[in-house]
Amino acid sequence: MALRNIAIIAHVDHGKTTLVDELLKQSGSFRENQRVMERVMDSNDIEKERGITILAKATSIEWKDTRINIVDTPGHADFGGEVERILSMVDGAIVLVDAAEGPMPQTKFVVGKALKVGLRPIVAINKVDRPDARIDEVVNEVFDLFAALDATDEQLDFPILYGSGRSGWMNTDPNGSQEEGLKPLLDLVIQHVPEPKVEEGPFRMIGTILEANNFLGRIITGRIASGSIKPNQAVKVLGQDGKLIESGRISKILAFRGIERTPIEEAHAGDIVAIAGLSKGTVADTFCDPAITEPMAAQPIDPPTVTMSFIVNDSPLAGTEGDKVTSRVIRDRLFKEAEGNVALKIEESPDKDSFFVSGRGELQLAVLIENMRREGFELAVSRPRVVMHKDEATGQMMEPIEEVVIDVDEEHSGVVVQKMSERKAEMVELRPSGGNRVRLRFYAPTRGLIGYQSELLTDTRGTAVMNRLFHDYQPYKGEIGGRINGVLLANEAGEAVAYALFNLEDRGPMIIDAGEKVYMGMIIGIHSRDNDLEVNVLKGKKLTNIRAAGKDEAVKLTPPIRMTLERALSWIQDDELVEVTPKSIRLRKMYLDANDRKRFEKAKSA
- Binding residues for GTP, as ranges, are 13-18, 126-129
Q: Which residues does residue 162 pair with via DSSP β-bridges, in sequence order? A: 125, 171
Angle between helices 105-116 and 80-87 (to 10 degrees): 30
Question: Is the Cβ–Cβ distance between 134 and 99 less than 8 Å?
Answer: yes
Element (H, E) at 337: helix 327-340
Please choose, from the candidates 449, 450, 461, 451, the residue with its C-alpha nearest in 3D space to the C-alpha of residue 415.
Answer: 461
Count of other CB atoms within 10 angstroms of residue 371? 16
Alpha-carbon gap, residue 585 to 456, rounded angstroms: 22
Residue type, 145: L
Alpha-carbon gap, residue 198 to 190, rounded angstroms: 17
Question: Is the Cβ–Cβ distance between 85 and 300 less than 8 Å?
Answer: no
Q: Which residues does residue 85 pair with via DSSP β-bridges, in sequence order? A: none
Task: List binding-site positions.
Answer: 13-18, 126-129
Please choose, from the candidates 517, 511, 514, the residue with its C-alpha nearest in 3D space to the C-alpha of residue 495.
Answer: 517
- SS3 string, 141-194, reads HHHHHHHHCCCCHHHHCCCEEEEECCCCEEECCCCCCCCCCCHHHHHHHHHHCC
Angle between helices 413-422 and 452-459 (to 10 degrees): 150
Alpha-carbon gap, residue 175 to 105, rounded angstroms: 28
Question: Is the Cβ–Cβ distance between 153 and 177 less than 8 Å?
Answer: no
